[in-house]
Amino acid sequence: MSEIAPKQSNLPLEYSTKQNQLNILGFWIFLGAELALFATLFATYLVLVSRTAGGPGPEELYELKTVLIETFLLLTSSFTCGLAVYEMRRGKQAGMIGWLIVTILLGIGFLYFEIEEFILYAVHEGATMQTSAFLSSFFTLVGTHGLHVTIGIFWILIIILQVLKRGLNADTARKVFISSLYWHFLDVVWIFLFTLVYLTGMVS
Amino acid sequence: MAQNEKGFPWKHVFGFLLSIILTLLAVWITFSTDLPTNTIITLIVVLAFCQAFIQLLLFMHMKEGESGSWQATMIYYGIYIAIVIVAGSIWVMSLGHQHHY
């Protein structure tokens, strides 16, 4: 166990050790690198979006209703994840776990609609990764985000189990906080998917 | 256990409501206005950045902790890299093509 940092008594539990503070800073550096990763995928998509090779283009595939459902599911899950950290900082373990479970359920709902959307494109509209450069970059970009959401769901689930086993201490509070940063970040990426991929694709 | 938050989470509710309004505003601008396409895209990208900062500041507490300014610097640098990659790629790969047709 790391030594308790002296001046930090007014900071939340997840910042209570020097090691915890470094871990949280390290995770922000990781998020900066994730920004660069998604930027390359966005750049690839935006350059190739008009290369449809005779296959369906964005305006024929995207449906506002599905995209809005996905957006509001993920946005609400980001809100409930924020409430979980809020409850944790009030020392309410049960409230925190409750909101984390709601967050996971909303995340699963988001994935359900996204997988349904992919199946609709690939099976019913014949728009697969192999169809065109536009679709290759679309599935890579949106799929990478979906993979992140999947990882986030399992990550938060495992941390819930650990909190149930060990209770809230400096270690578990830090893990909950860092996973919440990750989840909020996925919503930040989705805002740009929603805007630069879907809305821009549907504007005529 | 120390209590660092008290009362009702107003900051989170405010951020959530603002995110919903910004999302619906972006949809409205895209589908219900007669603005030129470039203007629409510029406006909705500005709205997206506003919403991203709501997440970073109200939900993720980006500037909190002893290294808060470092955390913010990492993200600003990440945003800078992202804009250079995305805008630079479009500039070089898409806009240049017009000269080859």
Predicted ipTM of the assembly? 0.89
Percent above pLDDT 90 for chain A = 88
What is the C-alpha separation between A187 and A20, in angstroms, rounded?
Answer: 24
Identify the burial level of A5 via C-beta atoms within 10 angstroms of its C-beta, where 0-12 means exposed, 13-18 middle and 19 or more buried.
Answer: middle
Which of A37, A76, A90 would you mutate first to test chain B, the one with the most B CBs within 10 A?
A90
| CA angle centred on A146, ends B45 and A140, rounded to 5° | 75
pLDDT band at A1 (very low <50, low <70, confident <90, very high): very low
Q: What is the pLDDT of residue B7?
A: 77
- Residue of chain B with shortest Cα separation from A35: B78
- Residue of chain B with shortest Cα separation from A204: B37
Query: Are the CB atoms for A61 and A152 separated by under 8 Å?
Result: no
What is the C-alpha separation between A116 and A121, in angstroms, rounded?
Answer: 9
pTM: 0.91
Query: Does the pLDDT at position B99 exceed 60?
Result: no
With contacts defined as CB-CB under 8 Å, which chain A residues touch B78? Answer: 31-36
What is the C-alpha separation between A115 and B57, in angstroms, rounded?
Answer: 31
Query: Are the CB atoms for B10 and A86 separated by under 8 Å?
Result: no
Q: What is the pLDDT of residues A103-123, one digit of tens each?
A: 999 999 999 999 999 999 999
Q: Do A83 and B82 touch (CB under 8 A)?
A: no
* Cα distance from N-terminal residue to C-terminal residue, chain A: 58
Q: What is the pLDDT of residues A149-188, one digit of tens each?
A: 999 999 999 999 999 999 999 999 999 999 999 999 999 9
Look up residue A193 and give its DSSP letter: I
Residue A10 to residues A23, A61, A88, A175, B100: CA-CA distances in angstroms? 19, 52, 15, 19, 62
What residue ranges define each of the domains in chain A, with the CATH number in brackets? 83-204 (1.20.120.80)
Q: Do B3 and A39 touch (CB under 8 A)?
A: no
Q: What is the pLDDT of residue B1?
A: 44
With contacts defined as CB-CB under 8 Å, which chain B residues touch A82? Answer: 9, 12, 15, 58-59
Q: What is the pLDDT of residues B51-85, one digit of tens each?
A: 999 999 999 998 888 888 999 999 999 999 999 99
B71 Cβ partners below 8 Å, 6+ apart? A24, A25, A28, B62, B63, B65
